[in-house]
Amino acid sequence: MAEHTWYYVCLLLLTSCCGLLGRTRAVHVGEATLVYQWATLDYDWPSDAMRQSAIDEGRYIPENIIATGIKVHGQVVYLTTPRWRDGNPASLSAVVETSDGRTVLRPFPSWEMNQLGNCSALQSVQSMEVDPLGRMWIADVGGSCAPKLIIYDIETDDVVRTYTFPTDVANTNTTYLNDIVIDTSADDPEDWFAYISNSRSPGGLVVYDYRRDSSHKVFDASMSVEPDATLMTINGRNYTFDVANDGIALSPLGDNMKVYYCALSGYHLYSVPTSVIKQPVVTDISSSVTHEGRKVSQSDGLVVSREGNLYFAALHLNAVYRWDTTSSQDASYAHELVSDDVTMRWADTLAFDDDGYLWFIANRLHMWRANELTFTGSEQNFVVWKVHVGEKSYMHKSGAKSVRANLMLCLVTFLYVAFREI
Ligand SMILES: *[C@@H]1O[C@H](CO)[C@@H](O)[C@H](O)[C@H]1NC(C)=O
Ligand SMILES: *[C@@H]1O[C@H](CO)[C@@H](O)[C@H](O)[C@H]1NC(C)=O
Ligand SMILES: *[C@@H]1O[C@H](CO)[C@@H](O)[C@H](O)[C@H]1NC(C)=O
């Protein structure tokens, strides 16, 4: 190759390096896009007759169903509908469009896998997460069956693993498996972990170790309800919640990773290093817990992007907020990303797709629980939003790494050119 070609190659690399470096900190926030909205949730029934008999037999009671969890994989949006009330035919679904243009829930992976009372099937799912290998980690709260974790390969349609929690780690009296994150920091997927929040008082964390196929629990007082934070005032009305550790988020891949968490009935955000909670024998972790600041409001789900921004719903403001975890300012300095007093009530969980969008579902949970919702069709109770933030999931390999790789390549090219000159 001619000498000048190397100079051009290098120039090109340098330009792309600088471009990447500049882009890692820039945040572009587009308009929020309303993707789906429903007055009540309906399913992709095999036939109208089956839908009707489900209604007649009380197996499908539309007003009793609320969607809480959301994740996006490829072009498919997955929603959870925990079985909090009767008449809920499936607890995990993909959103699909019917031939007559309605958007409905198609039980995922199947109707069979959502069979109530069958302990091999999903009983009540509030949260799930999809890892970079396309496997969905589904936290099943249980019910008449014990809580379990099912790992399901979306591409091959296979149950990869079913893990039933031992009673001393999680049982339906002590544990509500609320939200899940996956620690994909190890190069070997056998060494991955899941961290699940337990929102049942006094709260806690459940840690699942994939290689050992074992679990253990972690507790600290910071995971409990804050006594002066049980009251929530939303749109001028008072609601009381007694819910412990709920929102959970994992910092981007890298060194010194940590899990962020907060009680639903609480204002304070905390974190603990993953290196501490991964240990099967965890005694007192209080000295490892960091107070990350007092949020502007109580919040439900949390998520951190690959770029290090933590997103949370400010429930009493009908808003989603963003806090830069890499800044020197604590979480009380978070800024509003989007808000709407009608269509963004109770942003429950958040997720990223691969196109730079932050997704969330606003489900009016406080009103649903208080039986204040209108189901006649005049009100859209459950709304799925996406906002372009130009960021990716915490499980994505860091952009910083590709910047480093490019810089290395530049250096090598420079050295090569320099030595050829001699
Ligand atoms: C229970 O669910 C599993 C998984 O979907 C299924 O294979 C099995 O046939 C079900 N058992 C009964 C008795 O329906
Ligand atoms: C939960 O509590 C009930 C009532 O005290 C008890 O009968 C049941 O065995 C408990 N279940 C577990 C899994 O500990
Ligand atoms: C809500 O609770 C606060 C604190 O107890 C009270 O001051 C306020 O009047 C209540 N608002 C309503 C609408 O009930």
Mean pLDDT, residues 220-226 taken together: 98
Does 18 score more than 60 pLDDT? no
DSSP 235: T
pLDDT tens for 316-330 read 999 999 999 999 999
User: How many angstroms separate the alpha carbon of residue 171 from the centre of ligand 2?
Assistant: 9
Does 19 score more than 50 pLDDT? no
User: How many angstroms separate the alpha carbon of residue 130 from the centre of ligand 2?
Assistant: 32
31 compared with 133, residue with greater pLDDT: 133
Nearest CA to ligand 2 atom 6: 173
Mean pLDDT, residues 237-263 taken together: 97
Supply the pLDDT for residue 403: 52
Place of tokens 């009296």: 173
Supply the pLDDT for residue 29: 57
122 lines ligand 1 (CB under 6 A): no
Supply the pLDDT for residue 15: 44
Mean pLDDT, residues 223-229 taken together: 98
User: How many angstroms separate the alpha carbon of residue 165 from the centre of ligand 2?
Assistant: 15
Query: Considering the chain, what is the average pLDDT of its residues?
Result: 91
Collapsed DSSP state (helix, strand, coil) of residue 348: strand
pLDDT-derived band at 234 (thresholds 50, 70, 90) equals very high
Around Cβ 103, how many Cβ atoms within 10 Å?
17
238 lines ligand 3 (CB under 6 A): yes
User: How many angstroms separate the alpha carbon of residue 243 from the centre of ligand 2?
Assistant: 20
Considering every ligand atom shown, identify the ligand nearest to the alpha carbon of residue 142 and give its number. 2
pLDDT tens for 269-286 read 999 999 999 998 767 999
Cis before 107? omega within 30: no
Does 2 score more than 80 pLDDT? no
pLDDT tens for 90-146 read 999 999 999 899 999 999 999 999 999 999 999 999 999 999 999 999 999 999 999
Supply the pLDDT for residue 400: 52
Supply the pLDDT for residue 251: 98
Considering every ligand atom shown, identify the ligand nearest to the alpha carbon of residue 147 and give its number. 2
User: How many angstroms separate the alpha carbon of residue 214 from the centre of ligand 1?
Assistant: 24
Considering every ligand atom shown, identify the ligand nearest to the alpha carbon of residue 114 and give its number. 1
Contacts 24+ apart (CB under 8 A), 340-346: 340/32, 341/235, 342/318, 343/34, 343/37, 343/380, 343/383, 343/385, 344/318, 344/319, 344/320, 344/383, 344/385, 345/234, 345/235, 345/318, 346/234, 346/300, 346/313, 346/315, 346/318
Ligand 1 atom with the smallest distance to the CA of 110 is: 5
Does 332 score more than 50 pLDDT? yes
User: How many angstroms separate the alpha carbon of residue 173 from the centre of ligand 2?
Assistant: 6
pLDDT-derived band at 406 (thresholds 50, 70, 90) equals low
Rounded to an integer, what distance in angstroms lies between the CA atom of residue 31 and that of residue 378?
25
Rounded to an integer, what distance in angstroms lies between the CA atom of residue 308 and that of residue 310?
6
Contact 334, 269 (CB under 8 A): no
Mean pLDDT, residues 301-310 taken together: 98
Supply the pLDDT for residue 21: 41
Does 402 score more than 70 pLDDT? no
pLDDT tens for 343-380 read 999 999 999 999 999 999 999 999 999 999 999 999 99
User: How many angstroms separate the alpha carbon of residue 101 from the centre of ligand 2?
Assistant: 46
The residues facing 136 across adjacent strands are 130, 152
Nearest CA to ligand 2 atom 4: 173
115 lines ligand 1 (CB under 6 A): yes
235 lines ligand 3 (CB under 6 A): no
Supply the pLDDT for residue 411: 72
Pairing status of strand 347-352 against strand 357-362: antiparallel
112 lines ligand 1 (CB under 6 A): yes
Rounded to an integer, what distance in angstroms lies between the CA atom of residue 319 and that of residue 414?
49
User: How many angstroms separate the alpha carbon of residue 90 from the centre of ligand 1?
Assistant: 14
The fraction of the chain above a pLDDT of 70, given in percent, is: 88
pLDDT-derived band at 417 (thresholds 50, 70, 90) equals low
Supply the pLDDT for residue 283: 79
Nearest CA to ligand 2 atom 1: 173
Collapsed DSSP state (helix, strand, coil) of residue 166: coil
Rounded to an integer, what distance in angstroms lies between the CA atom of residue 250 and that of residue 393?
10
Give residues (CB < 6 A) around ligand 2: 167, 171, 173
Nearest CA to ligand 1 atom 10: 118
Ligand 3 atom with the smallest distance to the CA of 233 is: 1
120 lines ligand 1 (CB under 6 A): yes
pLDDT tens for 158-194 read 999 999 999 999 999 999 999 999 999 999 999 999 9
Supply the pLDDT for residue 256: 95
pLDDT-derived band at 410 (thresholds 50, 70, 90) equals low
- Those residues with Cβ within 8 angstroms of residue 40's Cβ, 6 or more apart along the chain or in another chain: 62, 63, 65, 375, 381
pLDDT tens for 40-60 read 999 999 999 999 999 999 999
User: How many angstroms separate the alpha carbon of residue 369 from the centre of ligand 2?
Assistant: 25
Rounded to an integer, what distance in angstroms lies between the CA atom of residue 245 and that of residue 262?
5
Mean pLDDT, residues 253-275 taken together: 97
DSSP 8: H
Supply the pLDDT for residue 339: 96
Ligand 2 atom with the smallest distance to the CA of 167 is: 13
* AA letter at 56: D
